[in-house]
Every structure is written in structure tokens, then in C-alpha cells.
Amino acid sequence: MATQDIIARSATTTASPSVRQLDEVAKLIDTTLCIGCKACQVACSEWNDLRDEVGSNVGVYDNPSDLTAESWTVMRFAEHETTDEDLEWLIRKDGCMHCEDPGCLKACPSPGAIIKYANGIVDFNQDHCIGCGYCITGCPFDVPRISKKDNKAYKCTLCSDRVAVGLEPACVKVCPTGAIVFGTKQDMKDHADWRIADLNRRGFDNAGLYDPQGVGGTHVMYVLHHADKAGLYSGLPQNPTISPMVGVWKGVAKPLAMMAVAATVLTGFFHYVRVGPNRVEDDEETHAPLASVEHYDPAERRDPRAEGERHE
Amino acid sequence: MTNHWSDIKNANLVLVMGGNAAEAHPCGFKWVTEAKAHNQAKLLVVDPRFTRTASLADVYAPIRTGTDIAFLGGLIRYLLETDQIQHEYVRNYTDMPFIVKENFSFADGLFNGYDADSRSYPDKSDWDYELDENGHAKIDMTLKHPRCVYQLLKKHYSRYTPEMVSGICGTPLKRMMQIWDHIAETAVPGKTMTILYALGWTQHSVGSQMIRAGAMLQLLLGNIGMPGGGVNALRGHSNIQGLTDLGLLSNLLPGYLTLPRDNEQDYDAYIAKRAPQALRPGQMSYWQHYGRFHVSLMKAWYGDAVTEENNWGYDWLPKLDEPMYDVLKYFDMMYEGKVNGYFCQGFNPIAAFPNKAKVGAGLARLKYLVIMDPLVTETSEFWKHVDEYNDVDTASIQTTVFRLPTTCFAEEDGSLVNSSRWLQWHWKGGEPPGEARTDVAIMGGLFHRLRALYKSEGGAFPDPIMNLDWSYLRPDEPAPEEIAKEYNGKALVDLKDPKTGELLLRAGQQLAGFSQLRDDGSTSSGCWLFCGSWTEAGNQMARRDNSDPYDMGQTLGWAWSWPANRRILYNRASADPSGKPWNDKDKRLVWWDGSKWTGTDVPDFAVTSAPEDKMNPFIMNPEGVARFFARGNMAEGPFPEHYEPFETPISRNPLHPDSPGVTSNPAARVFRNDMQVFGTADEFPYAATTYRLTEHFHFWTKHSRINAIMQPQQFVELGAVMAGELGIKAGDRVRVSSNRGYIEAVAVVTKRLRPLMVDGKIVHHVGIPLHWGFVGVAKNGYLTNTLTPFVGDGNTHTPEYKSFLVNVERV
């Protein structure tokens, strides 16, 4: 695994490796060209080998109805009445925005569990994830989800594995209408300008690019018909910022917490010196799962390839 | 499609009506976004629902289901009244100047010659042109003659005023006029609109006439034969175009040749009727070569066994005692207990055909049912009790079901014909699982066993089976390449040019194109339209050169398009009468270069016929021009007339409020049993329509986990106003019932379905996606066709899935 492209790691104070020169990339999602076909959802499942549960219809087109640890992107459908006679069906592909200033990475307490590449992609390294869920608190877009199977956090990787070898993300490859495009961030901004000019011509005076500066800009951007009303798109935040709680944790609370940890270690040390080590009666208990982790039996996991074979 | 997918990018305006291209054809729909992006095209959508396609529309207009003829008829009137038509095109390339017989008439919703007992027009002889002493149609180029088509058309649609149309369709007047004005802009020569439609036009009791009305609109605007124009049927299966091309309908033979009726015992008369002489001087009348296509077909099937002496095996062809043994007819017969056995090959009728209860009862009366399919289908399990979804008494069903697993397309070589009429060769991607065999192997095996039985036991009429030429390398499983070459056809003797005597092909060589076909038994071709697809130059369908030298999207080196690798039909009409393109800048298709026709596409014309010869572009019609007036070719009349769906929410036809006999299509096909099970608006007040979703493909993808995740459970769409009146919230479970049964599903409550003001009353629509059933990994659901009525279009007998009545209650 090449690490020379990593420019930031969670909960780490040591210097990052010297970084190769990489162009910043971006995925541009043009909501004005999106037909909500969900090909991106399917491609995401296929490339990342994810198979969510067959769910239920809850009264809307959105399915699965929310992001999960196995659905890293979902289409969100919103109906917007513009006049008595006119309606817009605003369809937005939701998922990780790959913030320039990622709140998840800031909030993450586990060293190296969240990393940011020089090309702008923010990636989770589940090896290091402790399942605390702070990344969710830190995310202004409510994107990461904790898996009930392994208690790790998951989200869109912007297909970092594909991008690393010069391919576009899977969702981009399959989008039939060219609503999702991928390239350098500058190229994507230029492309957006061309799209916005077309929208202006068609009467969308407030069409614009969504690249929110509250998080330093994003590496997933939207073209919106109503850039002045991002909230119309199933609650897309108009001016997202990282929760102040993350600042508290990283600022004031962190030294205090570190002191508490140190005190615990010291207490343990003195306990050991004075009382001797704690003994566990039954060896097997050491293998018992943590109470906070839901029991997970790998044998229960349904292998989608086996599913496929049965129906071939 | 008259045009093709990538040609959509050449359009200045895109009208999606009777279809939902973004939903059902997301990949093809990209060409609409191309037209919008690079051509600044506008997208108009007219649909009962605000669809996924509508979400990208510049203008959307709602319309009540089943009323498109009124909308289009009103538009035709508007274009004629405001004189926004492509004059030169209409005058020269259509039948507008043609004079119609004196006795043709239309009154009170009926054309002349109607017979109420048979629900048909047995005598259509007056629906025709007046002929002169040479047998040529009379014309009046001034268009002033009171009986010329132009005047008759104007008169026919004079009743379709904007107010009347808005009242029938429920389309708000202002919005309707906005759409009409956009469309009228393409009457300018060289500016084009494309029409994309699908089963939203086809599946009505007046479906064929809806499509005709669309074609008439395009003719008025001069948009047929033009790049970015045309009337474009977006086909619902990857190879359904191939199915019709190869004549897999009960009244057709390959290449749109037709089976004889039982009153056509004379071979020469059969051919003569189908090979019309030109109705105007100097016209091509290409069907006059019908005999060549027919004889070559019979040679392909029967080889040396057919000769001029036995009329090329004419007696071996079935002669129909009914116009058609289509699926509705057959299931009616099955229901009546008149059918013993049934083969279902890649077909799921209990899910796909209307009135599930009737289809299921029919299947239960069979002795045996054979299922040839790669997947388990609802039809193969029709006997199985599955909760409330298939509530049958298994023990009482005695039908023996044989299930023969077949390969799917990815497990075999072959060709598919897409909506663009492209024959694209594909290669096997993997081995079939288990005992699956190709359809060809199964049919081949069946054929050999039948022939052996005829040989050993004789039979009433063994000749058509015994004489079949089956000289394939592996008789048990002919190879796809062999069959493809047979469709193209070959020379059976050394073929010489009849004029010069030059040797064209040696015996056994593949034909280069259908112009080489002969009616003397010296050529064979299994489908004349496919002649040219596998020539001595090899498999043309396997070509993958997408170069596009004129940047017009024609890509003549990609696969092979029937006919003759021509990409846009009637493309001679893209040039004016003098042979110059109407638009020399970005709509150049074919033109006269001084000595021949040439261009960016293969000319659909006699390439050496100079403009001065006055041959007209519509060479398949004996008159050489396109028809507004359909002559005797349509069941319900030469001009499309609005009739209500058989289950109408307004209970009358506003055009003929006092004539209950013409409320609905007087010439639609209704079986006796089914008249009684139509519902009425007092009991079933809501207008319902069925459709598919982008997440699924028919009933197959319920077997695919990912598709099931994307759309897991059956739902129906209800307008927010209607749901509010009924106290239904999104996510509630509702029961939707028609006079034929009920389904239960989750309610999706949406503002995308609006109440429409129709004929003075409010009409609500209910949208019912069709995908669910009781096999697969998606959640079980009811078959939507439990609800739909068993009534067919008068011409194609396609059922009216798109317009019927339901009631809705919260469960």
C-alpha cells in the first residue's frame, strides 16, 4: 500500500510522509442531469462487493431509504413545488463529500483510521477503526455509518483504489446521462461553469456550483438548479461547518482526556505494584466479544457470490 | 425507430410522449442529454405522471391517460389553422393533394361502412383515392379540392379546438399551448423535433392510431426522414425489434411478409395483392418485389422441395381463418377449454398479460404446459399456492408443467436487433449452468422427434414438416452463424446481372443485398430485410467501427442496420425536391450530387433517380408519398379519432356525448366474456395506468439481489390530493381493486400526480408499477395484471394496460 500520497491522518501528531505531487481530484454530480436511475448505487455495490439487505418500501422512491455501512451512496428524491402548476423532482446522489477540511478526520480519536490523500480523497482505514462513531458527529453531512456486523465505520471511498490506478470511480463510469463526471478539481469547476451557463439560458437564474467553503471546499461537488436553496435537495446544508463539539474534543477536552488516561495508567501501575496482577478465572472469557460490539459470526454472512450461483 | 438512438443528438426539440425514456431506457436517454448539451435542444414531456423524464424537461404537461389522440389532433388542427406547417414538404412528399373517393364520410364518431354486430368495418373500399383511367390516383396540387386529403384532414380535426382538447385531456390550456408553440417552431425547414414513445402509446385500445397521429404531426412539420426527427418507438426488450422483424406474430412471416387468409387459396392472387403497382407515375412502389422476397423465403425454408410447379410450396403455408391468433385470442381459447398444450418460450404470460385470473384459469385447463426459460417464472409456478399472492388450489390443477431451462443471451453467440434496427452480433460470455440448453437445441430436438413421428405414423398433413430443409452441420443444434447466414441468403445458381450478363455471384455465395433477390428460385433468403447482414465480406453485424466522419452520429461501420445498412428511414425526404438538404449546415443526410444520390447515410432511394424524374421519397408506398389518410389499412378509420378508454372515468366521449356506441373504439377487439368485466366510474372512480421502473426489468430482475435492494417492495403511486381525501399517508398499505381483482401494496404519496379537470369533473390517477410477483428475491407481491382489462387495440390487439379504472382503499 503506497503511503506517499497521504497528507493527513486522524489522531496523529507525527509528520506525514513526504508527499508526491498529485492534482486534486473531484467528482461533479450534476443534479440537473440526474434521472435517479440508481445505476451509481448498483455500480457502487458491485465494485465494492457490497450487498445490503433487501429492505422495504417506506412510501418513497429512495431505496435503500438511507445510507448504511453497505450502501455508501443513495439517491434522495425531493418534490419541490415551484408554483401552483409547476413541480420539480430534485434528485440528489448522497454520499461522502470528501471535504478539503474533513470533520470526520478531525473528530477521529484512533490514529490513522481516517486518512486524507493528496488528491483530496478522504478514506477510512477499518483496520484502525474503533467504532466510536465520532466521525459521524464530526461529519456535517451525516454520512459515515457504523456496521452492525463488525462495528467499524464505512462510507464512500471515492473509489480510491480505482483512482489510484487512473480509473474513474465506479459510479462515474456507469452514469448514463453524464450527470456524474470526474477529473481534476479545476476541470470539474470549468465543466460546472459550462453547465451553469446552459441552466441560466434555460431560466435557472440561481443555478450554481456547490463547493461549500465552510469545510474548505469538497472533492464531491454538485451542480444545483437552486444553489441558493441547497436545503431543497433533501436537506443538503447550505453552509456546512464542522460541529463545534469536534473543536471542543480536539481543543480543550483532548489534554484533559489525555490527563485522565495518564491517571488511569498510573493507577493501574500502582495497583499492580501494590496488589499484583488481576487474574481471570476462565481463559475463554478473554475471547468474549466486547459488550459494545454486536455479536458477529462470519459464517452467518451471506456470500453474494453463492447467492448468484444459485440463480445462474 | 425511423431514426436511431445516437441520431437523437441531432434534434432541436425532443418530445417524449407515451413513454418515459429516462425510466425505461436510461442508457439511450443519454442522447437526449447530448441534444440538450450540444444542440441546446429543449425537452418536452407529456405524461399523466411527472416522471423521471419529466424531471429533466424544459416543459412538462400532464395529460389524462388514453387521450393522446385528442392532444395530437388538437395540435394538428392548431398547426393547420395557424399555418405552421412545412409547406413544401407536405405538398410534395405527402398525400395532402390526393383526392379521396366521394362516398368516404365521417359522422357521429363513425366512418362509413360500420357494422355494429361484428364491431368492425367490413367494407373499406370507399376509404381510398379516386383513380384516373390509368389506375393512377387523382391529385390537386393547389390543395383546394374539397375531397383532397388536406381539406378532409382540416375538416376532421376542426372539432378538436383547444378548449375541447383541454377538456378531454385535462391538460391546463395555457400549458398545452406552451407545448404546442414549441412544437410549431420545428415547422421551419431544417429544424427538427424527434418523438420518443413507447408502450404509453401502444398499449391502448386506440394505440395504433395514437402512433399514427404522432406520425401525422411529424409529417406536417416535415420531420420524417430528417436527422434528429422521426417517430421513434423505444422497444422494451433488447431483441423485441428482432422478434417483429422475423415475424414471430401469428399473422406474419419474416420481413413483414404476411400469411394468407383462408380465402386466399390462389398463389398468384396472394402475391398480386401484396405487390401493388405504382399509384402515381414514376413511383417505385418497392413492395411490387414482394414475390422475390416470398420465393426466396420459401427456398430458404424448403430448398429443392419447392419449385415453380408447386407454387414454391404455397399450399404448405397455413391459411388463417382468423385475422390473428394473438395472445389475447389464444388465452381466450384456452379459457374456453379449446387448447390442450402450450409452449412458453421466454415468455411469462400470467404476469405479462391482462386479467391474471383469466390467464391462470386458462393455464389450469391445459393438459400440458412447456416452459422454456432461463429463470423460474410466475407462469412456471402458476399452480403453486403462494399466500395471498397466488391464491390457487394446487390440488385441483391437473396441468402437467415441463420446465426446460434455456441459456440466456450472455451464454450464447448471436445477434440482437435494437430499437435502432441495428443487428449487433454478440459473443458468448460464459458457459450455461446445469442442464440449460439453447432454445435452438430444444426446438431442433422437438423438430426431429415430430418429424420421426410423422414418418412412422403418418398424419393429416405431413408435407410442411417432412419437406423442411434442415441441412445444418449439426442437425440437433444449428449454429447461430449458420442461421444468420441463412437469414441473409445466398445464390442458388451462378447469378448474372440481367442487363449486362456480368457474373455477380457464384452458386453458394452469400448475397450482397436484397436487390439481388429473384422470384425464379435462384436465390434464398430467410428474411429479406436482413439480406446484407452476412455477405461474402463476412459478418456485417460484428463490425465495431464507430467512426463518424460527418459528426452526424450515423456510424455506418458499426454493426449493421436494416434495411441495407440504412440508418434513417425515408432519408430522401431530408432533401428538398431539387435534391438539396433542407438544412445544409447540420442536417445533411443525403443529396443529389449531379449524377447520383450520396451522403452521410445510405440513401433510401433509387440512387440514380434524378430529382427531375420526380420519384418521391416514400418508396414503400405505391403512391410514393407518406399518408395522412391511411386508406383501408387501419381497423377504425383512415384518420385517428379520439375514443375513450374502455374503462373511462368520465363515462362518455366529449366529442360525441350523445352517441354511447362511440364512447370507446368501435372497432377494438373485445371478447364476449370480457364485456361484462369492465368496471364503471361509479364503482371504480380512479384512472389507473401501469408502467415499469428503472430499477427493474419486467419480472426477471426480482431474481437479482441488487435490483431487489434498489426497489424491494411493491408500491402504487397516489396523488397527494387524492391520498389526502382518502386519509392515506406515504407508507400506508392500500388495496387497489378493479372489476377483475385486487392487489395490495405500499402507498407512495406524491405531488407528481395531480388532479386533472376533465369534462367538468376532477380525475385522479393511480400509478401502478408492474414488476412484482411471487418468485425471486424481492419481496413477494401481487401481479399487477390482476387488475388490467382484456381488451385489445383493433389493429395489433395489444392490450389496454395503460388505461383502466380502479378503486383505492386503505387496508
The cell for A191 is 465543466
* Chain B residues whose beta carbon lies within 8 Å of the beta carbon of residue A202: 42, 58
Q: Which residue has the cell 430485410?
A: B529
Q: Give per-residue pLDDT as tens, A6-22.
A: 889 999 888 877 777 77
What per-residue confidence (pLDDT) applies to A18? 72
What are the distances in angstroms from CA B602 to CA A55, B416, B540, B606? 51, 21, 15, 11
Query: Confidence band (pLDDT; 50, 70, 90) for A258?
Result: low
| pLDDT (average), residues A118-140 | 96
Distance from C-alpha of A231 to C-alpha of A238, rounded to nearest angstrom: 6
* Chain A residues whose beta carbon lies within 8 Å of the beta carbon of residue B60: 87
The cell for B296 is 426466396
Q: Give per-residue pLDDT as tens, B63-99.
A: 999 999 999 999 999 999 999 999 999 999 999 999 9
Q: Give per-residue pLDDT as tens, B202-248.
A: 999 999 999 999 999 999 999 999 999 999 999 988 899 999 999 98
The cell for B660 is 354511447
What per-residue confidence (pLDDT) applies to A312? 34
Residues 63-102 of A with CB under 8 A from B: 63-64, 71, 79, 81, 85, 87-91
Q: Looking at CA atoms only, how far is residue B52 from chain A in angstroms?
A: 6
> Quick one: B288 exposed, middle or buried, by C-beta within 10 A (0-12, 13-18, 19+)?
middle
What per-residue confidence (pLDDT) applies to A3? 64
Instruction: Spell out the domain ranges in chain A.
Output: 6-242, 245-278
Q: Answer yes or no: is pLDDT of A293 > 50.
A: no
| pLDDT (average), residues B743-757 | 98
What per-residue confidence (pLDDT) applies to A308? 36
Q: What is the CA radius of gyration of chain B?
A: 26
Distance from C-alpha of B556 to C-alpha of B450, rounded to nearest angstrom: 43
Write the DSSP symbol of residue B86: -
Q: Which CB contacts under 8 angstroms, 24+ apart, belong to A162-167?
A: A162/A47, A163/A25, A163/A119, A163/A121, A164/A2, A164/A5
Distance from C-alpha of B663 to C-alpha of B657, rounded to nearest angstrom: 8
Q: Looking at CA atoms only, how far is residue B417 from chain A in angstroms?
A: 21
What per-residue confidence (pLDDT) applies to A248? 72
Query: Confidence band (pLDDT; 50, 70, 90) for B341?
Result: very high
What per-residue confidence (pLDDT) applies to A280? 52
Strands B106-107, B110-111: pairing is antiparallel
Q: Are B1 and B233 in contact (CB under 8 A)?
A: yes
Q: Looking at CA atoms only, how far is residue A174 from chain B in angstroms?
A: 9
Q: Answer yes or no: is pLDDT of A302 > 90.
A: no
Query: Confidence band (pLDDT; 50, 70, 90) for B185?
Result: very high
| pLDDT (average), residues B786-801 | 94
Distance from C-alpha of B534 to C-alpha of B189, rounded to nearest angstrom: 38
| pLDDT (average), residues B399-415 | 96
| pLDDT (average), residues B22-32 | 96
Which H or E element spans position B232?
strand B231-233
Q: Which of B765, B782, B786, B811 is nearest to B715 (CA)?
A: B782
| pLDDT (average), residues A101-106 | 97
SS3 readout for chain A? CCCCCEEEECCCCCCCCCCCCCCCEEEEEECCCCCCCCHHHHHHHHHCCCCCCCCCCCCCCCCCCCCECCECCEEEEEEEECCCCCEEEEEEEECCCCECCCHHHHHCCCCCCEEEECCCCEEECHHHCCCCCHHHHHCCCCCCEECCCCCCEECCCCCHHHHHCCCCCHHHHHCCCCCEEEEEHHHHHHHHHHHHHHHHHCCCCCCEEECCHHHCCECEEEEECCHHHHHHCCCCCCCCCCCHHHHHHHHHHHHHHHHHHHHHHHHHHHHHHHHCCCCCCCHHHHHCCCCCCCCCCHHHCCCHHHHHHHHC
Mean pLDDT score across all residues of chain A: 86
Q: Looking at CA atoms only, how far is residue B752 from chain A in angstroms?
A: 7
* Chain A residues whose beta carbon lies within 8 Å of the beta carbon of residue B751: 79, 81, 87
B660-810: CATH architecture: Beta Barrel (2.40)
Instruction: Tell me if chain B has a CB within 8 Å of the CB of A198.
Output: yes
Q: Give per-residue pLDDT as tens, B453-465.
A: 999 999 999 999 9
Q: Which of B691, B639, B667, B668 is nearest to B200 (CA)?
A: B691
Side-chain half-sphere exposure of B492, counting CA atoms within 13 A:
22
What are the distances in angstroms from CA B584 to CA B87, B191, B226, B612? 18, 11, 12, 20
Q: Answer yes or no: is pLDDT of A297 > 50.
A: no
What per-residue confidence (pLDDT) applies to B314? 98
Query: Angle at CA B497, nearest 5°, toward B494 and B498?
Result: 110
The more confidently predicted of residues B256 and A301 is B256
Residue type, A144: P
Instruction: Tell me if chain B has a CB within 8 Å of the CB of A46.
Output: yes
What per-residue confidence (pLDDT) applies to A294? 41
Q: Are B69 and B17 in contact (CB under 8 A)?
A: no
Of the candidates B27, B40, B779, the beta carbon closest to that of A176 is on B27
Residue of chain B minimizing CA distance to A70: B709
What per-residue confidence (pLDDT) applies to A276? 67
Residue B29 to residue A41, Cβ atoms within 8 A: no
Residue A79 to residue B752, Cβ atoms within 8 A: yes
Distance from C-alpha of B287 to C-alpha of B307, rounded to nearest angstrom: 22
Q: Please report how the helices B267-274 and B290-302 are oriented relative to each other, as an axis angle in degrees rounded to 10.
A: 130
Q: Which of A214, A172, A207 is nearest to A90 (CA)?
A: A207
Which H or E element spans position B32?
helix B30-39
Distance from C-alpha of B38 to C-alpha of B34, rounded to nearest angstrom: 6
Distance from C-alpha of B629 to C-alpha of B279, rounded to nearest angstrom: 15
Residue A57 to residue B750, Cβ atoms within 8 A: no
Q: Are B153 and B639 in contact (CB under 8 A)?
A: yes
* Chain A residues whose beta carbon lies within 8 Å of the beta carbon of residue B753: none
* Chain A residues whose beta carbon lies within 8 Å of the beta carbon of residue B27: 176
Q: Are B655 and B123 in contact (CB under 8 A)?
A: no
Beta bridge partner(s), residue B437 = B406
- Listed in sequence order, the DSSP H helices in B624-686 are 672-675
What per-residue confidence (pLDDT) applies to B99? 98
What per-residue confidence (pLDDT) applies to A161? 95
The more confidently predicted of residues B671 and A121 is A121
Sign of CA dihedral A137, A142, A144, A148: positive
Residue B36 to residue A36, Cβ atoms within 8 A: no
What per-residue confidence (pLDDT) applies to A289? 40
Of the candidates B30, B731, B752, the beta carbon closest to that of A87 is on B752
Cis ω before B563 (30° cut-off from 0): yes
- Say whether B369 sits in a helix, a strand or coil: strand
Q: Give per-residue pLDDT as tens, B644-678.
A: 999 999 999 999 999 999 999 999 989 877 888 89
What per-residue confidence (pLDDT) applies to A269? 72
Instruction: Tell me if chain B has a CB within 8 Å of the CB of A28.
Output: no
Residue A52 to residue B709, Cβ atoms within 8 A: yes
- Of chain B, the percentage scoring pLDDT greater than 70 comes to 100
Secondary structure E strands in B672-801? 686-691, 715-719, 733-738, 741-750, 756-758, 761-763, 765-769, 791-792
Query: Angle at CA A31, nearest 5°, toward A25 and A33?
Result: 100
Distance from C-alpha of B528 to C-alpha of A214, rounded to nearest angstrom: 66
What per-residue confidence (pLDDT) applies to A270? 72
| pLDDT (average), residues B152-169 | 98
Q: Are B310 and B317 in contact (CB under 8 A)?
A: no
The number of angstroms, rounded, from the C-alpha of B743 to the middle of its chain's C-alpha atoms is 29
The cell for B183 is 412544437
Q: Are A87 and B753 in contact (CB under 8 A)?
A: no
| pLDDT (average), residues B120-142 | 97
Query: Confidence band (pLDDT; 50, 70, 90) for A278?
Result: low
Of the candidates B50, B52, B732, the beta carbon closest to that of A87 is on B50
Q: Looking at CA atoms only, how far is residue B719 from chain A in angstroms?
A: 12
What per-residue confidence (pLDDT) applies to A295? 42
* Chain B residues whose beta carbon lies within 8 Å of the beta carbon of residue A36: 52, 55, 694
Q: Give per-residue pLDDT as tens, B238-270.
A: 899 999 999 988 999 999 999 999 999 999 999
Distance from C-alpha of A27 to C-alpha of A157, rounded to nearest angstrom: 12
What per-residue confidence (pLDDT) applies to A255? 65
What per-residue confidence (pLDDT) applies to A247? 73
ipTM value? 0.95
Q: Looking at CA atoms only, how far is residue A156 from chain B in angstroms?
A: 17
Instruction: Spell out the domain ranges in chain B.
Output: 5-236+624-633, 254-320+488-540, 660-810
- Of chain B, the percentage scoring pLDDT greater than 90 comes to 97
Q: Give per-residue pLDDT as tens, A162-219.
A: 999 999 999 999 999 999 999 999 999 999 999 999 999 999 999 999 999 999 999 9
> Quick one: A208 exposed, middle or buried, by C-beta within 10 A (0-12, 13-18, 19+)?
buried
Q: Which of B75, B109, B64, B121 is nearest to B657 (CA)?
A: B109
Instruction: For domain A6-242, give the CATH number.
Output: 3.30.70.20
- Say whether B373 sits in a helix, a strand or coil: strand
The CATH class, in words, for B5-236+624-633 is alpha beta
What per-residue confidence (pLDDT) applies to A257? 65
